[in-house]
Amino acid sequence: MNPTPQRARLSANLVFFTYGLLIGTYLPYLPFIKDRFGVGEGLFSFGLFFAALGALLSLPLAPWILKMIGSRKAVFYSSTAFLLIVSLLIAAPDIRIFFVLFFMLGLSISSWEVSANSQASVIEDQLGKPVMSSIHGFWSLGTFIGSASMGGWLLLEIDGRWLVWLFVALGLIGLIYVYRGPLRRHQIKAESGDESTPLRLRYLLYPPLLVIALFQIAGFMLEGSFQDWGAFLIRELVLGHGAEIIPERLWAELPADEAEARRRAAVAGALVLASFTGTMTLGRLLGDPFVARFGRVGTLQIGGALGVIGIALTTMGGLGWNTFVGFALVGLGTANVIPQVIKTADTTPGLPPGVAISAITAMGFVAFLGGPVALGFAGETYTFRTTFMVLGILPVFILVAAAPVLGWFRQGQPAETSGS
């Protein structure tokens, strides 16, 4: 029996939620892993580089994988691989193994991104109404619950790895339900045809897609920077720039005030990430009617304005109300950038079905390839506060360029697919 689009949407929600749950859980724990290895932020950021490298190397195969096994199986296999790799990553014994596992994580993420977003795009088409933002909202809901849970876990002074392993186990159980729910290959035109379309360089250089990719890169950079390095910014605000690297197991030997400051920084790092992902969740769950009311251009412009205000508040001083409000505003402002760009790209005229999502995902990961590494080195050299101030250029670009860029992009589309 074929699943209905409504059933497929429930499965997509669960897939995105599980993916976000694990990311939200392990990201606040990264400073503990860095301290365990005894390395600085610059060297540690190469883990993110290897993840992005793995994703970029495997992305050209994503359309071929969808043709061979379909997005349903690709979602299941890539999700299983992601969960298992995260369970090993969180307990890596040294930084070399950590880099290898992060590279493997990137390999699984690329297949997941393309297959899961392909399902979500087709579900939206078959339902005949906007649902892309709300499906992505479950990813944000997962990151919110994961980061808030890790904050509470660390507050209780319990090893954060156990929480990650608990969520991995729950995720693997949930995949049993997920496998039955997604749309089958014969229900998706791009997967049921005879031709297999690889991701060629000429698609990546296709002018309309290059233009819309600017927003994908800006959205990925903002979202990834606040998620990957937000906890390090909070640590700097509490402990100061260049604080001595001391593994968690040695905190008990520190003076009481210093040990308490380090615990406070760890908990605050998880909580600001929760505020960021919490408002992002809200923005995405409410994003579909918002886009229907204001259009994609208006949605991006409002998001850009919120992002500018949020970064200003985040970087204006020490840890306080402004930090939490700033993270929350950036989360709300960036909530609908990526889902709307993905859906816009999927309507690109002149490209074979399914290729646009692979191409736009590849170009988005360009931001992940250089962004986290550059951010880590810049934060270690110039302070994370200064580095996050520079990120304010990105929401300014979104605010200013949304109308002219999307207007130019829509000129080559049929009127009913413009979405704004």
Taking only the tens place, the pLDDT of each residue in 233-259 is 999 999 998 888 787 778 888 898 988
195: pLDDT strictly greater than 80: no
> Residues 175, 79: contact at Cβ < 8 Å?
yes
Query: Is 14 among the domain residues?
Result: yes
Query: Is 100 among the domain residues?
Result: yes
Query: Is 214 among the domain residues?
Result: yes
> Rounded mean pLDDT of the chain?
84
- Mark residue 398 as left, alpha or beta (left: phi above 0; alpha: psi -120 to 50; beta: remaining): alpha
Averaged pLDDT for residues 53-72: 79
420: pLDDT strictly greater than 60: no
Query: Is 192 among the domain residues?
Result: no
What tens digit of pLDDT does each residue of 246-302 get? 877 788 888 989 889 998 998 998 899 889 988 998 998 888 888 888 988 899 999
63: pLDDT strictly greater than 80: no
Averaged pLDDT for residues 73-81: 92
C-alpha–C-alpha distance, residues 387 and 225, integer Å: 10
Model pTM score: 0.75
68: pLDDT strictly greater than 90: no
pLDDT at 18: 94
**Best CA proximity match to 126, nearest among 298, 8, 226:** 8
Query: Is 137 among the domain residues?
Result: yes
pLDDT at 313: 96
pLDDT at 311: 97
364: pLDDT strictly greater than 80: no
pLDDT at 379: 86
SS (H, E, C) the chain: CCCCHHHHHHHHHHHHHHHHHHHHHHHHHHHHHHHHHCCCHHHHCHHHHHHHHHHHHHHHHHHHHHHHHHHHHHHHHHHHHHHHHHHHHCCCCCHHHHHHHHHHHHHHHHHHHHHHHHHHHHHHHHHCCCCHHHHHHHHHHHHHHHHHHHHHHHHCCCCHHHHHHHHHHHHHHHHHHHHHCCCCHHHCHHHHCCCCCCCCHHHHCCHHHHHHHHHHHHHHHHHHHHHHHHHHHHHHHHHCCCCCCCCHHHHHHCCHHHHHHHHHHHHHHHHHHHHHHHHHHHHHHCHHHHHHHHHHHHHHHHHHHHHHHHHHHHCCCCCCHHHHHHHHHHHHHHCCHHHHHHHHHHCCCCCCCCHHHHHHHHHHHHHHHHHHHHHHHHHHHHCHHHHHHHCCHHHHHHHHHHHHHHHHHHCCCCHHHCCC
Query: Is 89 among the domain residues?
Result: yes
pLDDT at 369: 58
Query: Is 295 among the domain residues?
Result: yes
Identify the CATH number of the domain in which residue 55 sits.
Answer: 1.20.1250.20
Top-confidence residue, 368 or 50: 50
pLDDT at 352: 62
pLDDT at 368: 59
Number of domains in the chain: 1
What band does 409 get if pLDDT is binned at 50, 70 and 90?
low
What band does 400 get if pLDDT is binned at 50, 70 and 90?
very high
| Residue 105 structure tokens | 């994580």
Query: Is 215 among the domain residues?
Result: yes
pLDDT at 353: 52
Please give the residue range of the domain that contains residue 397: 5-187+200-417
81: pLDDT strictly greater than 70: yes
Distance of CA 73 to the CA centre of its chain: 22
